[in-house]
Amino acid sequence: MSSAGSKGMFAMILLILLLFFEAALAACRIKTSSVCHGATAVLRAASVLILVALAALSVATWGFRYYAITAVLVVSAVVNAAGSLRKKEAGAKLLPARIIRRAAGMSALIIIALLPAVVFPEYRPLPTTGGHRVETATRHFSDEERTEAYTKQGGARELAVEFWYPENAEGSFPLVIFSHGSFGTRTSNETLFRELASHGYVVCSIDHTYQCLYTTDRSGKVLLINGEFMNDVRRENAREDKSRSLELYKEWMEVRTGDIAFVIETVKADASDAIHRLIDTEKIGVIGHSLGGAAVLGIGRMRSDIGAVVALEAPYLCDILDVQNDAFVLESAAYPVPVLNIYSDSSWPNLGKWPQYAKNVQLLSGSDKDIHNLHISGAGHLSLTDLSLASPILTRVLNGHSSSLNAEDCLRRINEECLAFFDRYLKEAGAFSIK
pLDDT digits (tens, 9 = 90+) for 376-389: 999 999 999 999 99
pLDDT in tens, 176-212: 999 999 999 999 999 999 999 999 999 999 999 999 9
Distances (CA, A) of 289 to 24, 112, 293, 341, 382: 48, 32, 4, 10, 9
User: CA-to-CA distance for 225 and 233, rounded, in angstroms?
Assistant: 12
pLDDT in tens, 105-139: 989 988 998 888 888 887 888 999 999 999 999 99
pLDDT given for residue 21 in this prediction: 84
Q: What are phi and psi of 166, to 5 degrees?
A: -65, 130
pLDDT of 79 higher than 80: no
pLDDT given for residue 8 in this prediction: 54
Contact between residue 202 and residue 175 where contact means Cβ atoms under 8 Å apart: yes
pLDDT given for residue 247 in this prediction: 98
pLDDT of 429 higher than 70: yes
**CATH number for region 134-425:** 3.40.50.1820
pLDDT in tens, 322-369: 999 999 999 999 999 999 999 999 999 999 999 999 999 999 988 899
User: CA-to-CA distance for 308 and 303, rounded, in angstroms?
Assistant: 11
pLDDT in tens, 221-255: 999 999 999 999 999 999 999 999 999 999 999 99
Which of 49-63, 82-96, 347-361 has maximum average pLDDT?
Answer: 347-361
- Give every CB contact of residue 234 below 8 A, 6+ residues apart in sequence: none
**Selected residue with higher pLDDT from 264 and 27:** 264
pLDDT given for residue 430 in this prediction: 83
| 373 SS3 class | strand
Contact between residue 191 and residue 4 where contact means Cβ atoms under 8 Å apart: no
| 137 SS3 class | strand
Report, in angstroms and rounded to the nearest whole number, the Rg of the chain calculated over CA atoms: 26
Q: What is the mean pLDDT of residues 83-108?
A: 73
Domain ranges of the chain: 3-119, 134-425
pLDDT of 282 higher than 80: yes
CA atoms within 13 A on the CB side of 180: 28
Q: How confident is the model at residue 46 (pLDDT cuts 50, 70, 90)?
A: confident
pLDDT of 80 higher than 80: no
pLDDT of 60 higher than 70: no
pLDDT given for residue 1 in this prediction: 47
User: CA-to-CA distance for 7 and 392, rounded, in angstroms?
Assistant: 11
**CA-closest candidate to residue 313, choices 349, 354, 346, 358:** 346
pLDDT given for residue 59 in this prediction: 65
pLDDT given for residue 62 in this prediction: 67
Q: What is the DSSP string of 193-232?
A: HHHHHHTT-EEEEEE-TTTSSEEE-TT--EEEPPHHHHHH
pLDDT given for residue 6 in this prediction: 52
Q: Partners of 311 in the beta sheet?
A: 288, 341
Calculate the average pLDDT of the chain.
90
**Selected residue with higher pLDDT from 20 and 305:** 305
Contact between residue 33 and residue 94 where contact means Cβ atoms under 8 Å apart: yes
Q: What is the mean pLDDT of residues 79-97?
A: 64
